Amino acid sequence: MLNEKNVQLGKVRSEIRELFEYGKKRKAEIGAENVFDFSLGNPSVPAPPEVKKALEDIIATVDPVVLHGYTSAQGDFNVRKTIADYINLRFKTQLDADCIYMTCGAAASLTITLNALVNAGDEVITFAPFFPEYRVFAEHAGAKLVIVQGEEGTFQIDFDNLARALSPKTKAVIINSPNNPSGVVYGEKTVEKLCRMLEEYGKAHGVKIYLISDEPYRELVFDDSVKAPYIMNFYGRSIVCYSYSKSLSLPGERIGYIAVNNKMEEYADVYAGVCGAGRALGYVCAPNLFQQLIARVYDKTSDISVYKRNRDELCAALKEYGFKVVKPDGAFYLFVASPEPEAKAFCERAKKFELLIVAGDDFGVKGYARISYCVSPQMIKKSLPAFKALAQSYKLCGGEK
Ligand SMILES: Cc1ncc(COP(=O)(O)O)c(C=O)c1O
C-alpha cells in the first residue's frame, strides 16, 4: 500500500493552484491582458541588476568544477559568515557562520526547522490567517497544527486566544510578519508581549517553546513608520526562516537560510537538529551558484516601490468602491472582507469580472479574500473598473462607471 497521506497531498491541488490553472485557461481564451490574475505570490518586478551582474561575474571567474560542485551540507562557510555578519550589523546580534544553515527557500527552512524540533504528538501554534502549507509541513513532521484566530478586522495577535491555545504540548509557535495573506506586520509591542507570554508559560510549565519566524517578506515593508522587529532580540529560543524568493525576486532559484539564535542554551543541539533534519530530508546542500550569488548581493532588494504603489492605488480604489480592507503594511497581499458570508461565493462572482482572487478559507479565516498585488502597475489600473463593477454587483457603491 502506498502512503495514502502523500498520495492525497499530490492529488488535491490547493485552491490557489486551481485558480492559477483556471487563469491559464482563461488567458488562452480571451487574452492574458483581459484576465486580472491576483492569485499567486510570484514577484512581478525583476531581480535587481546586481543579480545578473554578479551571476555573470561568478560564471566567468569561478572554477566551474568548484562552482557546480557540492558545498558542505549546511552551506559554504564564507556564504554563511557573510550572512551572519550582515544580520549582526543590521540587528545587533552576535551570530556566527555556525548559526546559519543554507536552504532551498523558506519552504525548506520551515520543513527542516519543524523536523528538527518536533516529536510525534507535539503541537505547533500559528496565527490565522496563515500560509496554508504550514499545516502540511507541521503534520508531516508529526505535529498537530493549532490555529489561533487573529483579532477580527486587524489580524494582529489575539492574546486571549493564544493563552487558551498554549499547552504543555506546545513545541513551537510560527509567526509570519509581514504576513501572507493579510500584509499585516507585528510591531514591537506585539512581539514583546508574545515573547513574554511564551517565556512565562514555558517557565511555569517546565517546557521549551521555540519561536519560528517565517520571513520571506521581511524586506517588503513599505513605510518608514512601520518596523518589523527582529525576534532574536526578544526571545532566546528563536529561529528565523528566511528566503530570497520575494526580496530578490528569485522564487524559482530556491535559496534561503535558517538562522538559529545562539542566545539559547541548547543552541548547539538545535543547530545539530537542523543539520540532521536537512540530512534526513535529503537536501544535501542548497544550490551552490545561488549561495555564491547571495554572498555578493545579500544586502540588495528588488524595486519594492512598485509594490507600494500598487498597494496604495488598489487600497484606495477598493475603499472608494465600498470594500472593507485590512490595512497591509507589507508583503504584497491584501485581505478584503467578502460582501457576502461565503468568501468562496464572492471569489466565484469575481471570476465573472475576470478577477482572480483567493478565498481566505484556505488561510484559516472565513469571510475574506486575498488579492496578490504583485502584478504590473498597468494590470492594477486596468483591473479597477472590474473591481468597481464587482462592488456595484453587491450594491456597495453607486452605478456610475
Ligand atoms: C508565508 C510564506 N512562507 C513560506 C513561503 C515559501 O517561500 P519559498 O518560495 O522561499 O519557499 C511562502 C511563499 O509564498 C510564503 O508566503
Instruction: List the CATH number of the domain containing 385.
Output: 3.90.1150.10
Residues of the chain under the 70 pLDDT cut: 399-401
CA of 145 to the centre of ligand 1 (A): 17
Per-residue confidence (pLDDT) for residue 145, from 0 to 100: 98
CB of 109 closer than 6 A to ligand 1?
A: no
Shared domain for 110 and 207, answered yes or no, is yes
CB of 364 closer than 6 A to ligand 1?
A: no
Domain-located, residue 62: no
Per-residue confidence (pLDDT) for residue 227, from 0 to 100: 92
Shared domain for 362 and 226, answered yes or no, is no
Per-residue confidence (pLDDT) for residue 14, from 0 to 100: 81
Domain-located, residue 109: yes
Number of structural domains (the chain) is 2
Per-residue confidence (pLDDT) for residue 15, from 0 to 100: 81
Looking from the CA of residue 109, the nearest atom of ligand 1 is 11
Per-residue confidence (pLDDT) for residue 399, from 0 to 100: 59
Nearest-CA residue for ligand 1 atom 2 is 131
Domain-located, residue 57: no
Shared domain for 289 and 307, answered yes or no, is no
3-state SS class at 256: strand
Sequence length of the chain is: 401
Q: Which of the listed residues 232, 263, 297 is the one where a domain comes to its end?
A: 297
CB of 258 closer than 6 A to ligand 1?
A: no
Query: Which H or E element spans position 196?
Result: helix 188-205
Looking from the CA of residue 107, the nearest atom of ligand 1 is 11
Shared domain for 100 and 218, answered yes or no, is yes
CA of 246 to the centre of ligand 1 (A): 8
| Helix ranges (DSSP H) in 234-342 | 267-280, 288-297, 305-320
Shared domain for 85 and 35, answered yes or no, is no
Q: What is the CATH number of the domain that holds 208?
A: 3.40.640.10
3-state SS class at 137: helix
Q: Which domain covers residue 36, as residue numbers?
A: 4-48+302-393
Per-residue confidence (pLDDT) for residue 174, from 0 to 100: 98
Nearest-CA residue for ligand 1 atom 14 is 41
Q: Which of the listed residues 246, 268, 297 is the one where a domain comes to its end?
A: 297
CB of 251 closer than 6 A to ligand 1?
A: yes
Shared domain for 205 and 277, answered yes or no, is yes
Per-residue confidence (pLDDT) for residue 401, from 0 to 100: 44
Cα distances (Å, whole numbers) of residue 317 to 148, 308, 321, 350, 388: 31, 14, 6, 16, 8
CB of 177 closer than 6 A to ligand 1?
A: no
Domain-located, residue 352: yes
Contact status, residue 40 vs residue 16, Cβ threshold 8 Å: yes
Shared domain for 333 and 288, answered yes or no, is no
Please give the Cα distance from 86 to 10 (Å, whole number).
38
Reading the block at residue 37, the C-alpha cell is 490574475
Shared domain for 117 and 98, answered yes or no, is yes
Q: Which of the listed residues 276, 297, 318 is the one where a domain comes to its end?
A: 297
CB of 129 closer than 6 A to ligand 1?
A: no
Please give the Cα distance from 5 to 196 (Å, whole number).
37
Ligand 1 probe mutation, 42, 245, 335, most atoms within 8 A of CB: 245
Please give the Cα distance from 353 to 36 (Å, whole number).
9
Shared domain for 312 and 279, answered yes or no, is no
CB atoms within 10 A of CB 167: 12
Shared domain for 268 and 309, answered yes or no, is no
Domain-located, residue 228: yes
CB of 248 closer than 6 A to ligand 1?
A: no
Domain-located, residue 53: no
Q: In terms of pTM, does the model score above 0.75?
A: yes
Reading the block at residue 161, the C-alpha cell is 486566544
Domain-located, residue 401: no
CA of 315 to the centre of ligand 1 (A): 23
Shared domain for 42 and 100, answered yes or no, is no
CA of 123 to the centre of ligand 1 (A): 21
CA of 4 to the centre of ligand 1 (A): 25
Shared domain for 102 and 233, answered yes or no, is yes
Per-residue confidence (pLDDT) for residue 381, from 0 to 100: 97
CB of 106 closer than 6 A to ligand 1?
A: yes
